[in-house]
Amino acid sequence: MPTYTAYGLTLDSEFPFPELVEVEPTGPPDVELVYGTVRWDASGGGDRIAGQFEDVARFELTGGRRIVVEELREADEEAIRARLLGEIFATLLRQRGHLVLHACAVAGRGGAVCVIGESGWGKSTLAEAFHQRGYALLTDDVAAFTTRPGQRPEVVPSYPQIRLRDDAAMFLAPGGDGLTPISRNGPKLARSNVEMADDPIPVAAAYFLEPGFREQTAIVDVPAQNAVVQLIAHTRARTLIHTNTPALLTQHLQQCSDFVRTVRPRLLQRRHSFEALGEVMAAVEADAGVGPLEARPTPPRPTS
């Protein structure tokens, strides 16, 4: 059984993960993933959570340390892997005490920048643009935070991959250099072996990404109460954490409140143009007080 690393954890897995970094085991793993039969008895108040995704597979998570996968039809590894790297890992990380948001994050001089938003809103495009600017990746989609009262939250590095839609990939990586398809029929491409931060990084600034577009780039204040509501709305694994896990729900509300007290997220508005990426990054850098870890030349852009 291979051993992988992600989110600062070691994972022994019967399921293959080409996205993750394989490592030599040096002791018992933090997490074990096995095939098996999922038990549908009562949940253990957050210690044991079971769920099913369509007709693909059932999953059971116990204590943030064990994942059981039960396939429901002929194996579709792409569909199962997408669920594992998304909702399942997010639930596991919540069991281990992390605040987990639908966000990307990069690390620069001055700390981490987090951009919070739903799928298709442009988080990965911004993550790739910042990476090309000289920032290290922390996470592309599932952001795990360590929170402590009175202290800035820290982003835990995930795994070295950025997933881009084909139009963003054509703009940011002309010719598709270093990109591979994520699935046989999907519209996204992946850049793997991305430069990653080695350790958790304190958050310098966080932004809610506005789903629509404006005539100009702007960063707008968000009242504290609204910011907490937005963090709750953008929490990963909401469908698996139900009212039968009151301890996790109470912890989650406290984590969102602690986050807002130390890092007040603001609203990031953008023009509808890939050409606006430069001004968006410049606005974030000025607002957050961060800069790239290293200067990199601007890659060539395709001409129309």
What's the rounded Cα separation, in Å, for the pair 99 and 156?
10
Q: Which residue's entry shows tokens 């992600």? A: 6
What's the rounded Cα separation, in Å, for the pair 275 and 268?
16
What does the pLDDT average to over 49-58?
83
Quick check: 65 pLDDT over 90?
A: yes
CATH number of 99-288: 3.40.50
Nearest to 281 by CA among 104, 86, 65: 104
What does the pLDDT average to over 21-29?
93
What's the rounded Cα separation, in Å, for the pair 109 and 289?
9
> Rounded to whole angstroms, what are the CA distances from 282 to 99, 162, 220?
28, 21, 15
Q: Which of 118-132, 197-211, 237-251 has the lowest mean pLDDT?
A: 237-251
What does the pLDDT average to over 27-42?
88
Quick check: 272 pLDDT over 60?
A: yes
Quick check: 44 pLDDT over 80?
A: no
What's the rounded Cα separation, in Å, for the pair 276 and 280?
6
Quick check: 146 pLDDT over 90?
A: yes
8 A C-beta contact, residue 205 and residue 114: yes
| One-letter-per-residue 3-state SS of the chain | CCEEEECCEEEEECCCCCCCEEECCCCCCCEEEEECCCCCCCCCCCCEEEEEECCCEEEEEECCCEEEEEECCCCCHHHHHHHHHHHHHHHHHHHCCCEEEEEEEEEEECEEEEEECCCCCCHHHHHHHHHHHCCEEEECCEEEEECCCCCCCEEECCCCEEEEEHHHHHHHCHHHCCEEECCCCCCEEEEECCCECCCCEEEEEEEEECCCCECCCEEECCCHHHHHHHHHHCECCCCCCCCCCHHHHHHHHHHHHHHHHHCCCEEEECECCHHHHHHHHHHHHHHHCCECCCCCCCCCCCCC
Quick check: 297 pLDDT over 70?
A: no
Quick check: 182 pLDDT over 80?
A: no
Q: Are strands 266-269 and 218-220 parallel, antiparallel or unpaired?
A: antiparallel
pLDDT given at position 82: 86
Question: What mean pLDDT, rounded, does the chain reach?
Answer: 88
Counting every residue, how long is the chain? 304
Which part of the chain is CATH 3.40.50? 99-288
Residue 172 backbone dihedrals phi, psi, to 5 degrees = -85, -25
Quote the pTM value. 0.90
Helix axes 277-288, 123-133, angle to 10 degrees: 80
pLDDT digits (tens, 9 = 90+) for 80-121: 888 899 999 999 999 999 999 999 999 999 999 999 999 888
pLDDT given at position 281: 96
pLDDT digits (tens, 9 = 90+) for 206-220: 999 998 888 899 999
pLDDT given at position 302: 45
Q: Which residue's entry shows tokens 């506005």? A: 210
pLDDT given at position 295: 66
Nearest to 35 by CA among 12, 19, 18: 12
